[in-house]
Amino acid sequence: MRKRLIVVVGLIAGMVAVGGGANVWAVQWDATINPYDTESRFKVTYLKTYSVWYPDGGMIADELRGQNASVSEEYNFRHPDVQALIERLNERIVSSGSQARISDMNVSYSFGLSGSQDSATIDYKIILDGHITDYNITKYAQKTLVDLGWRGLSVDGGVTMGEHEINDPFAFVEASAPVTAGVISDTAIDRILDAYLINADAVLEKPLEKWIFLFDPTNCNTDAHSFSSSVYVCVLSSWVMMDESILREERQVEIVEEEVIVADREYMIRSVQAPAQGILTIVGFGVIDTLEGVEIAGVTPAPPEAPPTNDFPTFIMYGMAGLAAAAGIAFFVNNRLLKNKQG
């Protein structure tokens, strides 16, 4: 099934490209949840890029032209600053109604500033790589209810990691380009730089029923067996969050912010935030539902051979089947149109 899944992902990625999707994602979210284990791994990458334009020269141009500044660090879960961040993330998870929590996590980040003749770019990248636990709500017979309400891994306010502030974009500008920071401080441009970097709210705010469901019901996946020694697991279920310009009329689009200020010269700063991307894989056959306002998945080791019972809502089962059919039809129609156009 893995080969077929890769093919499906490739086809969807191709459709996104045709639909004009963004090339760089603001958040890349990836998790594989194993209901038959006490911990599961997740990885979240937060990306942000700013452009500063100074074609008329000025103080900012004098400082940023030819400028190359960077900082890059890695910290494991034993570091006290990482422990403090884990605690704040867990508080945010609890506030969203989820019972899950982060048990351990490594943090890495890299920030860079590069200046050319007329403009400069400031790039931010933060990676959280860790394990989530306490996501199993209850088990009965062969069914497990899994908590998925922890997905929005976000933090408001400053986050100190070692010697650097990593959640406030303006802090890096102050440290690497103090003249520029002084010019844009307390201006409209400063407002754009106020957005916190560790923010995956979009991953939680988009319901999983609107993610793209990937599942091959034709046979059992041999790779799924390796996830559990106590239960014979037959399949893997995956959901993908990405641009839906072809599969649905709803689209995730870039958020572009621009501001111009006049100091000694006129300067412009631009922030481009692309749609979030998420991949959720659950070991077993998963059906999305909600419990007291929190999204969950009902998971069994294999797909049901008979029509679903009241344990799993029938409309969800058929809804996912309809989504799969719609995705296939959308691709077929798009492919025929493309062939006709090329012909």
pLDDT digits 0-9 by tens, 71-130? 999 999 999 999 999 999 999 999 999 999 999 999 999 999 999 999 999 999 999 999
Measured over the CA atoms of residue 227, residue 229, residue 235 and residue 238, the dihedral's sign is negative
Each domain of the chain, given as residue ranges in start order, spans: 2-342
More confident call, 309 vs 261: 261
Task: Measure the CA–CA gap between 43 and 278, rounded to whole angstroms.
Answer: 10
Q: Is the pLDDT of residue 31 over 50?
A: yes
Beta pairing partners, 285: 300
pLDDT band at 9, cuts 50/70/90?
very low
- Cβ-in-10-Å burial (0-12, 13-18, 19+) of 304 comes to middle
